[in-house]
Amino acid sequence: MRNWIGIAAAAALLVAAAPALAADPPAIPLYAPGALPAATQPERMDNGLLHNVSQPSLTPVLPAPGKANGQAVIIAPGGGFLVLAWDKEGMAVARRLADAGVTAFVLKYRLGPTPNDPAEFMKYFSSEMGKLGASAARGDPLGPPFPTEGLAAADAAAAVKLVRGRAAAWKVDPHRVGFVGFSAGAITAANIATGDPAGRPDFVGIIYGALRNPVPRDAPPAFIATAADDILVRAYAAPMFQQWKAAGRPAELHIFERGGHGFGMNVQGSTSDHWIDEFLWWLQDLKPAR
């Protein structure tokens, strides 16, 4: 596997991600002050990994003036529901989408607690990723929901509603609000795409993720991508595509030969480097849901 050596090295790959730029736009809280319990640990960014998120928000990344095409995409980075790979699966994706005229938003969703000490945090995170890798190597099916998986889905649905509610301010068509997620963020994307209709996006990108729920007959169009050498979730992509099609809903599937788990916006010299181009071409072909 190219990216994560035995999955425990997931931490090492994510550490290599470039930190978010200092000029990132200000975040927009998803909930009113005091609506959620106060943080028990301070939110931290260690080696490119954002952790201990308790107050979710959206960070907008807007197209250049006159370039917006009316589409919006909310982006959910991955990280095992313990961290967010903030740049390579968040801000870097948003900047690429905004450059193509898509109004982008990076979602900071609630996570499980991790140690605050950087060394202890990396040790804990590597251990948890190692457990997931060992389970996948044994061929175990996807386990029960992660402890904060439901909170992440609630935050994702709230983000969809927020963007739709303020669509005019961002010159966004409220019928063209999509959601793309990676790994844990992709599980979140699939969860809201098959969940309460009020929080469903108009289209969804599920990048190295998995599906927990039946696909309803009014599910949004889906773009599904993974790598054949991803030992964590490669088994879920094709069945997910088939379930979307069985529900009579539009879907597109890409299984890249190489890329491993967590390729994000990494450049590895493989076809998975171009998933974002395929996604943008797919977006161009979408028709607004009415």
CATH code: domain of residue 156 = 3.40.50.1820
**Alpha-carbon span 189 to 156, nearest angstrom:** 8
Q: Is residue 290 part of a domain?
A: no
Task: Determine the pLDDT at residue 40.
Answer: 85
**Alpha-carbon span 209 to 233, nearest angstrom:** 6
Give the tens place of pLDDT for each residue, 30-65: 999 999 998 888 999 988 899 999 999 999 999 999
Count of domains observed in the chain: 1
Residue 1 in this model has a pLDDT that exceeds 80: no
Sheet strands side by side (includes 44-46):
44-46, 49-51, 83-85
**Alpha-carbon span 33 to 229, nearest angstrom:** 44
Neighbours of 127 (CB within 10 A): 11
Q: Is residue 84 part of a domain?
A: yes
Q: Is residue 169 part of a domain?
A: yes
Q: What is the mean pLDDT of residues 62-89?
A: 96
Q: Is residue 182 part of a domain?
A: yes
Domain that holds residue 182: 10-285
Task: Determine the pLDDT at residue 128.
Answer: 93
Of the listed ranges 114-118, 154-158, 167-171, 196-200, the one predicted with least confidence: 114-118
Of the listed ranges 8-12, 43-47, 136-140, 232-236, the one predicted with least confidence: 8-12
Residue 257 in this model has a pLDDT that exceeds 90: yes
Length in residues, the chain? 290
Task: Determine the pLDDT at residue 215.
Answer: 98
Query: What's the Cα-to-Cα distance from 64 to each of 61, 161, 231, rounded to whole Å?
Result: 10, 24, 39
Q: Record the pTM.
A: 0.91
Give the tens place of pLDDT for each residue, 202-219: 999 999 999 999 999 999
Q: Tokens for 88, please give them.
A: 């390579």
Give yes or no for a contact between 84 and 111, defined as CB atoms under 8 angstroms apart. yes
pLDDT-derived band at 27, boundaries 50, 70, 90: very high
Q: Is residue 139 part of a domain?
A: yes
Q: Is residue 5 part of a domain?
A: no
DSSP reduced 3-state for 72: strand
**Nearest to 51, CA basis, from 35, 61, 40:** 40
Residue 126 in this model has a pLDDT that exceeds 60: yes
Q: Is residue 180 part of a domain?
A: yes
Q: Is residue 253 part of a domain?
A: yes
Residue 12 in this model has a pLDDT that exceeds 70: no
